Amino acid sequence: MLSWKGSTISSLDFASSAAQYPGTFYWDFHRADLHSCLLRRAVELGAVVRCKARVVDVKIDSESTKGEDGATVVLDGGEQIWCDLVVGADGINSRLRELLLKKPDPPIPTGDLAYRLLLSTSDMLEDPSLAELVTNPQVNYWLGPDAHAVNYVLKGGKLFNMVLLVPDDMPADGASTLEGNVVEMRKLYEGWDPRIEKLLGLCESVYKWRLCIRGPMESWSHESGAWTMLGDAVHATLPYLASGWVLFTLWFSFRRSLFVYFRTGTRHILLPYLKIS
């Protein structure tokens, strides 16, 4: 962890930290790679993935052959699909959350936005002051006035990921993701650690995301047990200190329950998750 001028505030050796807990590790990986792995495995196990199938309603019914309530998902084209269990994981701008609550429930802006960019490390390796960030893989946090920056390598050292957090200046009634202005972004970090300024000098284009949170729900599952919510749609986390990992681990815990449910058809396996609030 570094000050905005580049001096060290604190540090953690990941290898030594993980060694205290045998079998554990620290990983940085590209989200797209994780998505690809999950998609590939789901298809291998028989999942059918459909695109352009927007859900406009969910109806709880009693058509289950196991004597339990099921649910009917209604698509925007009018098609209706019956299923044993609906898991709404449609992100921070969730439509299914509003359907479950039976009222509008937009996400809450935090007042921050994130610039996200990926750089090719081949350019960084030509600069001795930047090369160490690639050859000695590390996660760095720069903390400064009204802003901070996080970066680390991805794709086996081929890409360099940067996330920059600054006050939100996006139109209140506009989209939550917009193309950013590189010059404007660079000005926000003028006077910072020279490495930050050099890294931003390598950036040719960038997007910015409004950061939002979600208020608590009395319950994120329907009382029938046929419909539950997951992910940013219900318990959104922010990209501070990689806190999204908490959400990731929660999903993998739920995945184990889903696996047993699909193998046995016994919905009570899901109750520990369904009852969390």
In angstroms, the CA 26 to CA 15 distance is 8
- What are the pLDDT digits (tens) for 25-51? 887 778 888 889 989 988 998 989 999
Q: Which residue has the tokens 């959104």?
A: 236
Residue 208 Ramachandran class (φ > 0 left, ψ -120 to 50 alpha, else beta): beta
Q: How far is CA 82 from CA 73, 178, 227, in A?
A: 6, 37, 12
- What are the pLDDT digits (tens) for 137-155? 888 999 999 999 999 998 8
What's the pLDDT score for residue 84? 84
pLDDT band at 174 (very low <50, low <70, confident <90, very high): confident
The total of other beta-carbon atoms located within 10 Å of residue 2's CB is 21
**Using CB atoms within 10 A of its CB, is residue 88 exposed (0-12), middle (13-18) or buried (19+)?**
buried
Q: How far is CA 149 from CA 29, 44, 162, 178, in A?
A: 18, 38, 7, 19
Average pLDDT, the chain: 85
The whole-number average pLDDT for the span 268-273 is 59
**Using CB atoms within 10 A of its CB, is residue 195 exposed (0-12), middle (13-18) or buried (19+)?**
buried
| Structure-model confidence comparison of residues 118 and 239, the more confident one | 118
Domains of the chain: residue spans and CATH: 2-28+108-213 (3.30.9.60), 50-107+214-274 (3.50.50.60)
Phi, psi dihedrals of residue 123, rounded to the nearest 5°: -70, -35
